[in-house]
């Protein structure tokens, strides 16, 4: 019974999830580029700030800039650890790479199994910590939307079940059921990537550029803002 579902989850569902993620992300990038070019044509100063955009990207990608910040140091550090784990474990876990090599003939460097295990544990711990940090701080609690709570919780599931799949002896549940939950939760997460805030995994790279361009108002913008607000009689 479960074998049938596992076969489905490993075959068509996995293909569907990967395709949905890839094409969905492609759509997001295409829309973003389109909108940036639109903003560019309407901008007052039509110079693309390449240097600034690349510098900002690197600054936010590497940890020391925001680790230097005074406020919420622990939270920022936990977030960094989580991001390392959430990328490294799914991509470089030996079992996953073996499946890629088997299905497509392409393989790459893998994490030593012990490192992968510890990194998974660390990631789960970081997720719990992040949820706690979000709940503890009143202002971030106020800013949080539904997906800010749901996605970290959903993220914990494939990591825990993945650990249990790699080490069935640690698991209190039926190994096949655990494997099925691992597959389905990971696929759900993949499908959600282009349609939730997880889309930042591709839009992160362009958001700095669009922010820079977006603030360059063309001449006469003030007039348009007044028109939109219906306050033509007042001064800018």
Partner 1 sequence: MTRRVQITKGILWFITGLAAAVTIVRFTRGLGATTVLSDTTPWGLWVGFDVMGGVALAAGGFVIGAIAHVFRRERYHHAVRPAILTALLGYAAVAVGLLYDLGLPWNIWHPIVFWNPRSPLFEVAWCVMLYLTVLFLEFLPVFLERTRFKGLYRTLLKAQLPLIILGISISTLHQSSLGTLLLIMPFRLHPLWYTPHLPELFFVSAICLGLVMVIFESSVTAWLYERRPHTAMLSGLARFAAGAIAFYLAFRFFDLWHRGNLHLAFENTFEARLFWVEIAMSALIPLVLFLVPRVRRSHTGVFVAAALGVMGFLLNRIDASGLAQVWATGTDYFPAWTEFAVSFGIVSFFALIYLFIQEHFPVEKEIVDEEEKWRQRQLFVLPRFDRLSQVWLGDRTFASRRVYSLLFVVALVLGLTLTPWQPLVEASPVQRARGGEVLRVGFPLGTVQFPHAEHVERIGKDRCGVCHHLHRPGDVGTPCTECHADLYLPTRIFDHVAHVRVLDGNRSCARCHPAEGPREAATAAKCSACHEKDMMAANEVVTRFERTDAPGYRESAHALCIACHRKEAENPDVGKPDLFRCATCHRGVEPHGEAVLEASLATAECTPHR
What whole-number distance in Å separates Cα of residue 208 and Cα of residue 224? 25
- Of 57, 76, 79, 147, the one binding partner 1 (CB under 8 A) is 147
User: What kind and span of H or E run contains 208?
Assistant: helix 200-214
Lookup: tokens for 75 = 């939270």
Q: How far is the CA of 78 from the CAs of 26, 58, 194, in angstroms? A: 29, 19, 24
Q: Does the footprint of partner 1 cover residue 58 (CB under 8 A)?
A: no
Mention every residue, 6+ apart, whose C-beta is less than 8 A from residue 161.
Answer: 178, 179, 181, 182, 185
Q: Does the footprint of partner 1 cover residue 9 (CB under 8 A)?
A: no
Quick one: 158 or 194, whose CB is closer to partner 1? 194
Q: Does the footprint of partner 1 cover residue 24 (CB under 8 A)?
A: yes
- Of 2, 7, 31, 98, the one binding partner 1 (CB under 8 A) is 31
The answer to whether 47 and 30 have CB atoms below 8 angstroms apart is no
Q: Which stretch binds partner 1 (CB under 8 A): 11-19, 95-103, 125-133, 211-219?
A: 11-19
Quick one: 68 or 232, whose CB is closer to partner 1? 232
DSSP string, 34-101: HHHHHHHHH-SS----HHHHHHHHHHHHSTHHHHS-STTHHHHHHHHHHHHHHHHHHHH-HHHHHHHH
- Of 7, 27, 46, 231, the one binding partner 1 (CB under 8 A) is 27
What whole-number distance in Å separates Cα of residue 55 and Cα of residue 65? 12
User: What kind and span of H or E run contains 230?
Assistant: none
Lookup: tokens for 7 = 């076969």
Q: Find the binding residues for partner 1 in span 93-132 (CB under 8 A).
A: none
Q: Find the binding residues for partner 1 in span 167-226 (CB under 8 A).
A: 194, 224
Quick one: 26 or 54, whose CB is closer to partner 1? 26
Q: Does the footprint of partner 1 cover residue 145 (CB under 8 A)?
A: yes
Q: Which stretch binds partner 1 (CB under 8 A): 23-31, 56-64, 102-110, 122-130?
A: 23-31
Question: Rounded to the nearest whole angstrom, what is the least distance from the CB of residue 225 to partner 1 in the complex?
Answer: 9
Quick one: 15 or 55, whose CB is closer to partner 1? 15
3-state SS assignment for residue 210: helix
Q: Does the footprint of partner 1 cover residue 20 (CB under 8 A)?
A: yes
Q: Does the footprint of partner 1 cover residue 228 (CB under 8 A)?
A: yes
Residues in contact with partner 1 by CB under 8 A are 12, 15-16, 19-20, 23-24, 26-27, 30-31, 34-35, 145-147, 194, 224, 227-229
């Amino acid at each position: 019974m479960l074998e049938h579902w596992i076969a489905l989850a490993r075959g068509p569902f996995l293909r569907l999830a990967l395709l949905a993620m890839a094409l969905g992300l492609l759509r997001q990038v295409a829309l973003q580029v389109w909108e940036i070019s639109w903003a560019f044509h309407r901008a007052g100063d039509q110079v693309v700030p390449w240097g600034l955009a690349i510098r900002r990207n690197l600054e936010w990608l590497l940890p020391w800039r925001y680790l230097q910040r005074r406020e919420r140091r622990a939270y920022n550090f936990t977030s960094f650890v989580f991001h390392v784990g959430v990328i490294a474990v799914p991509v470089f876990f030996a079992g996953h790479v073996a499946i890629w090599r088997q299905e497509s003939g392409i393989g790459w460097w893998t994490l030593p199994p012990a490192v992968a295990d510890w990194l998974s544990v660390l990631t789960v711990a970081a997720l719990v910590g992040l949820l706690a940090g979000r709940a503890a701080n009143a202002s971030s609690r106020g800013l949080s939307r539904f997906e800010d709570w749901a996605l970290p919780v959903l993220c914990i599931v494939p990591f825990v079940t993945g650990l249990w799949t790699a080490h069935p002896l640690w698991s209190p549940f039926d190994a096949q059921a655990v494997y099925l939950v691992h597959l389905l939760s990971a696929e759900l997460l993949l499908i959600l990537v282009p349609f939730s805030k997880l889309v930042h995994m591709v839009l992160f790279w362009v958001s700095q550029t669009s922010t820079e361009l977006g603030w360059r108002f063309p001449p006469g913008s003030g007039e348009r803002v007044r028109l939109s607000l219906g306050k033509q009689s007042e001064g800018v």
